[in-house]
Structure 1
């Protein structure tokens, strides 16, 4: 279930900025998992609509540059945080939220949850959420204020998917990605991601805000979106976790 799909984001003070075209509210109870690289379904995006997501942060030197680039273009994104990084960078987590971005969760230490016991995997999930919540709201809780989660390496298990669904936490894959875990120049990365975007036409895009090449490329990528009439959709939770 998706709500308020036609709602527009706040008006941007810069008339020539890319902006955020609309807000899409996701109900985890009705939409437990999305992202075509991992699951059968994605978000109901129109042609030339994209959702920008970032994993593995926050990391001061690079996340700050990405936030600045997004702010200049009045664009909102979703950040899937590593708990130990959130714990070390609480002011940056608060800044993300203050600037209107959505905070999702990505475990405590980016463990591959398929390679550890179920109990250890649950501990990674809960500890990561608690650290993110402490950085964001000043109170540790395994119940996320925004119930969005992404598996490290997209490695899920049926038991963990069922657990997260029972908790009312939506699992996000991606429709395509920038492959920015591979070393390349910002120019090479821009060519790669714009080519994939042209082929897909729409979708949930995965970046990593810990990568210097991504931070360097982001202003040019946002300008590309604006010049080629792409529209950014901001995702938010329609409900609280149960």
Structure 2
């Protein structure tokens, strides 16, 4: 619980310390912090599940998959810092173990870190025992990079399936461990080759229809890193607000009377 509270304090304090006065939405860049509780919201994202986060019109949550990847993740972080915006990064375990300093930088700049397996394998196509290992190895690698402790209990219990390829068994496993599964409400399709200008048009066209939601990008894609500053300007110019998601602190068990 202390760790979650500390991470929340970091996010809030760093947002408040942002020196820019013309940032996205408000002077803080991030309009509000939303605490997500696995007990009440075990799975979110309308592309995969029947419910999503309780966002208001013109509110978005920015999420990035497949990092850390130094050539592009650093550019994404720079764009977010320029507008004092906080996002959620779903990190793959192997590159996290190879670039622990970048994992720590993501956290130090106030972003939320979730989990995205060890090798980005399709979990619907491998054996159940391998599935659990893929999930746990990924969590352990990210936790080691972040805190120097190899544990399969994530400090932020957020997980996204590679390719959104879940199974009933893996969904039940994560829910039993109190880990929120993130889908998305819409995405930039940045796994396809396109120019930054084309990606900007695609994502803004989709946003005009959806008007709010969890957006999926990939910080490993150069076109996304190049496009992001223009997208943040679009959000600001069109009066959108960025919501930063963090894990809700675990419920405190009431003390029994003696």
TM-score bucket of the superposed structures, by smaller chain: over 0.9
Find the partner of 2:189 among 179, 187, 206: 179
Distance 2:44 2:183 in 1: 6
Name the SS for the 2:39 alignment partner. Answer: coil
Q: What is residue 61 of structure 1 aligned with on the other side?
A: 71
List runs of 5+ in structure 1 lacking aligned partners.
1-7
Contact 1:145 1:240 in 2 (8 A): no
Distance 1:42 1:14 in 2: 31
Distance 1:204 1:156 in 2: 18
Q: CA deviation at 1:240?
A: 5.1
Q: Does 1:205 align with 2:215?
A: yes
Distance 1:186 1:83 in 2: 27
Q: 1:220 to 1:180 in 2, by over 3 A?
A: same
Q: Does 1:72 align with 2:78?
A: no
Q: What is residue 144 of structure 2 aligned with on the other side?
A: 134
> Which structure's CA Rg is the greater one?
2
Q: Does 1:229 align with 2:239?
A: yes
Name the SS for the 1:234 alignment partner. Answer: strand
Q: Does 1:26 align with 2:32?
A: no
CA RMSD between the two structures: 1.2
Contact 1:133 1:141 in 2 (8 A): yes
Provide the aligned length of Structure 1 versus Structure 2.
234
Q: What is residue 154 of structure 1 aligned with on the other side?
A: 164
Distance 2:91 2:239 in 1: 29
Q: Does 1:86 align with 2:96?
A: yes
Q: What is residue 20 of structure 2 aligned with on the other side?
A: 14
